Structure 1
Amino acid sequence: MSITESSSHYNHLERMSVRELLENINKEDKTVPLAVEKAIPQIEALVEQLVPRMQQGGRLFYIGAGTSGRLGIVDASECPPTYGVPHDWVVGLIAGGDSAIRNAVEFAEDDREAAWHDLASYLPNELDTVVGIAASGRTPYVIGGLQEARKRGLLTGCVVCNPGSAVAAACEYPIEAVVGPEFVTGSTRMKAGTAQKLVLNMITTSTMIRLGRVKGSKMVDMQLSNKKLVERGTRMIMDELTIEEAEARQLLLQQGSVRKAVDFYRQQHARN
């Protein structure tokens, strides 16, 4: 039996008080960052291969089913607003299509041919990277997609929570975050899902930084999609240029991003 399906360290959960349930869930959650830490060399190996491909115009595709697929979609969808990159730089695909984001599609994950069919509409090429996400490490949708992508010369990686899995064997750069049994036996949306989320954060954040989408520690290319982000961008410009709020806000709204506003201001003052 796989580790993610093995019995919980706890029993008779229904007899626990709410406080006991919360404390024991939290106790298990504390082990997740340690499992991810052990996987850092594997994450590094994938990112080191991913970055130069994206610098040449390659894209990152996530493929997964259920919770794993949803996590890939969340990570992909947050890259454009956070880093101001095109929507097709990072793409999340889920078994069963977009309707599966909210409602499970029966047996969609068992179709080995479906992932490559889903990828094919994006006209993938050898500069692209496909990362399969599967807590169990045995999802046919993910295995088939990785095998076909690898056969066609794409870079392949994965994020799994069992060692020595079929998904890991199907790709070149496996990442194994082994978090152990779940608090509720087999409920991989818990520790395994948390580990996957942490790893995906690390992959895209480190990649975007290496692609120059962060300056200092600031999201200088973020999209100004709400008042909070306009205020954040205004503060960034104020701090960087030591100017008043009104001027900083006007610059930001005129230029459309923190980076462009700062560059424009400096160019204008260099001429004077």
Structure 2
Amino acid sequence: MKVTESTSLYDNLEQMDVTSILQNINREDKKVALAVEKVIPNINGLIQQIVPRMEKGGRLIYIGAGTSGRLGVLDASECPPTYGVPFDMVLGIIAGGDKAIRKAVENAEDNPEQAWNDILEYGFNENDTVIGIAASGTTPYVIGGVKTAREKGLLTGSITCNPDSPLSKEVEHPIEAVVGPEFITGSTRMKSGTAQKLILNMISTTVMIKLGKVKGNKMVDMQLSNAKLVQRGTKMIMEATGLEEETAYKLLLSEGSVRKATEYFYKNLS
């Protein structure tokens, strides 16, 4: 039996009081970070291969179905506003298309050829990386996608929560965060989903740092898409340059990013 489908360590959940339910979920959640810690060497190996490829113009492409697909879409969609990168530098592709983000699409994950067809809508180049995400490691959509990607010469990785899964066997860099039985049997949106989110955070954040999208500990290329981010950017410039708030604010708006504003200051105003 798959670990992700194994029986919960808890039973008669409907008879538990609310406090007990919350404490037991939390008890299980504490195991997730420890499971992720064990696979850091695997994550490291994958990232070491991704970065030089992206420096040559490659992209990072996540493919998944259901919760796994949604997590990939989430991570990808947050990269442009956070790091100021093009929308297609990190792509999240979900079985069933964008409508599947909100509503399950029947049988979408069962077609082993569809993921590659979905990737082709964005084109591909030899420096791209495809990471398949599937808690079970058995999703045909994901397995078929990484298999074809690897055949085409792309770098491939996977994020699963079962040991020795079929998906892991199809990629060069498998990551298997085995978190154990879910609090509700088979509900992999819980611990498995949390593990996948943690790993995706680690991958995209580390890649962006190594690509120079972070300076010190600041998101110097973030998009100024709302008042909060403009205020944050203004504070960053004040800290970096010693400018007063109003001057830093005007400089940020005129240059369009913290990085450009800071560079302009040191070139022309310091």
Place the TM-score, normalised by the shorter chain, in its bin: over 0.9
Q: Hey, what's the Cα distance between the residues in 1 that align with 2:204 and 2:266?
A: 30
Q: Does residue 121 of structure 1 match 2:121? A: yes
**2: CA distance between counterparts of 1:136 and 1:125?**
29
* Paired AA for residue 160 in structure 1: T
d(CA) in 1 for partners of 2:106, 2:81: 32
Q: What is the letter of the counterpart of residue 234 of structure 1?
A: T
What's 2:14 paired with? 14
CA distance in 2, matches of 1:58, 1:211: 12
Superimposed CA distance per residue, residues 188-228 of structure 1 (whole angstroms, 9 cap, x where no aligned partner)? 00000000000000000000000000000000000000000
**Following TM superposition, by how much is the alpha carbon of 1:123 offset from its aligned partner in structure 2, in angstroms?**
1.4
Q: What SS is found at the alignment partner of 2:240?
A: helix
Partner of 2:158, secondary structure, is strand
SS at match of 1:30: helix
Aligned mates of 2:107, 2:21 — CA distance in 1:
32
* Shift of residue 247, structure 1, vs aligned partner: 0.5
The equivalent residue for 2:263 is 263
In structure 2, C-alpha distance between the alignment counterparts of 1:9 and 1:64, rounded to whole Å? 27
* Partners of 1:123 and 1:250 in 2: CA distance: 40
* Residue 227 of structure 2 corresponds to residue 205 of structure 1: no
**1:145 partner amino acid:** G
TM-fit CA distance, 1:125: 1.6
Matched, 1:62 2:62: yes
User: For residues 1-272 of structure 1, what are the structure 2 equivalents within 5 Å?
Assistant: 1-269=1-269
Separation in structure 2 between the aligned mates of residue 65 and residue 32 of structure 1, nearest angstrom: 21
Q: For residue 87 of structure 1, what is the amino acid of its counterpart? A: F
Shift of 1:121: 1.3
Segments of structure 1 that go 5 or more residues without pairing to the other structure are none
Amino acid paired to 2:78: E
The residue type paired with residue 44 of structure 1 is N
SS in 1 for 2:124: coil
CA distance in 2, matches of 1:124, 1:167: 21
Farther off after superposition, 118-127 or 256-265: 118-127
Q: CA RMSD in A?
A: 0.6
SS of the counterpart of 1:219?
coil
Letter in 2 for 1:129: T
C-alpha distance in structure 1 between counterparts of 2:84 and 2:157, whole Å? 25
Q: Deviations over 1:145-191 (max 9, x none)?
A: 01000000000001000010000001100111110000000000000
Runs of 4+ in 1 over 6 A off after TM superposition: none
* 1:243 Cα offset (Å): 1.2
Aligned residue-pair number: 270
Among the aligned pairs, what percent are the same residue?
65
Query: Scaled by the length of structure 2, what TM-score is found?
Result: 0.99
- Distance in 2 (alpha carbons) for counterparts of 1:177 and 1:244: 48
- Amino acid of the residue matched to residue 201 of structure 2? N
SS in 1 for 2:70: helix
Unaligned stretches of 5+ residues in structure 2:
none
SS at match of 1:35: helix
Code of the residue aligned with 1:69 in structure 2: it is: G
Other structure's SS at 1:249 match: helix
Shift of 1:269: 2.8
Q: Distance in 1 between matches of 2:152 and 2:56?
A: 18
What secondary structure does 1:91 align onto?
strand
Measured in 2, the distance between the counterparts of 1:57 and 1:46 equals 17
Q: Please report how far the alpha carbon of residue 122 of structure 1 lies from its aligned counterpart in structure 2 after TM superposition.
A: 1.4
2:94 and 2:269 mapped to 1: Cα distance? Answer: 49
